[in-house]
Amino acid sequence: MGRPMAEHLIDAGHTLHLSRVKEASRHLVTKGGKAAHSAKAVAEASDIIILMLPDTPDVEAVLFAGGDGVAFGLSAGKLVIDMSSISPVATKDFARRIEALGCDYVDAPVSGGEVGAKAASLTIMAGGKDEAFERARPLFEKMGKNITLVGGVGDGQTAKLANQIIVGLTIEAVSEALLFAKRAGADPAKVRAALMGGFAASRILEVHGERMVKETFDPGFRIRLHRKDMTLAVDAARALDLSLPNTAATQQLMNAAVANGDGERDHSALIRTLELLAGGPR
């Protein structure tokens, strides 16, 4: 997702310094991006530093590891924006450490997947100080449409986990409904079409329901990554002494999906795990 997001910023006329340019992102350099040899070098050359990484340890490493992290290239007055989906607790710690250097920090995870990243239509959920958010807003507007300052640092990550709970549980519900229809002898495609005209209609029934019916599971958002987010939600709930039983159950189903080799498939492929629990395809 980071590649199309970066491309939108370049197209808008911003100068981007890029860490870890790989073959798949070489076109960003061709378009005017500048390859840097480290995250530290990016921070030294930039007023605003944006991270888009898979998981909490990755963000910590890029920010602080080995003398080449972002923190080692910062000077007072710069802004760090983390658009990854990671732990709200760790986010608050990272922000504290960056702010101690005289810089601002905004967490701004996104929803919308690769399709939304390419279309610059991402939903962006931000946490941070008002003035830091307003400084970041013009960049967010080049990457997304629904942009909200939820609250202080970490609240963006909390909102993203809430989003992932809703999406995960709804995918699981649609999977159960279409599997039920199939086993009962009805045509799942026609059942889905009927449900789209009623109160059960949803974006997930529309998009992911179609993928389930057609069994096309090329990833928009991988089960492996959604499992990571659901695990973060379960861990945060435990720290809050909060019971989220259906979140935990769906996280376990995603564990099974990864164990069964579906971790790189789209999260709509969760229906395959339920089908295995029901004795396999018939």
Q: Catalytic positions, please?
A: 160
Tokens of 27: 């076109």
Compute the distance between CA of residue 122 and CA of residue 152 in angstroms, rounded to an integer: 20
Give the Cα separation of 142 and 120 in Å (integer): 6
Q: Token pair 């076109």 is at which residue?
A: 27
Distance CA 171, CA 269 (A): 9
Residues in the chain: 282
Please answer whether residues 240 and 158 qualify as being in contact, where contact means their C-beta atoms are separated by less than 8 angstroms. no
Among the listed residues 9, 70, 83, 80, the one whose alpha carbon sits nearest the alpha carbon of residue 43: 70
Tell me the helices (H) and strands (E) count for the chain, helix number first. Answer: 13, 8
CA angle 173, 111, 64 (to 5 degrees): 125
What is the rounded distance in angstroms from the CA atom of residue 189 to the CA atom of residue 35? 48
Q: How many Cβ atoms from other residues are within 10 Å of residue 103's Cβ?
A: 21
The phi-psi region of residue 185 (left if phi > 0; otherwise alpha if psi is between -120 and 50; otherwise beta) is: left
178 within 8 A of 191, measured Cβ to Cβ: yes
- DSSP, residue by residue, 162-180: HHHHHHHHHHHHHHHHHHH
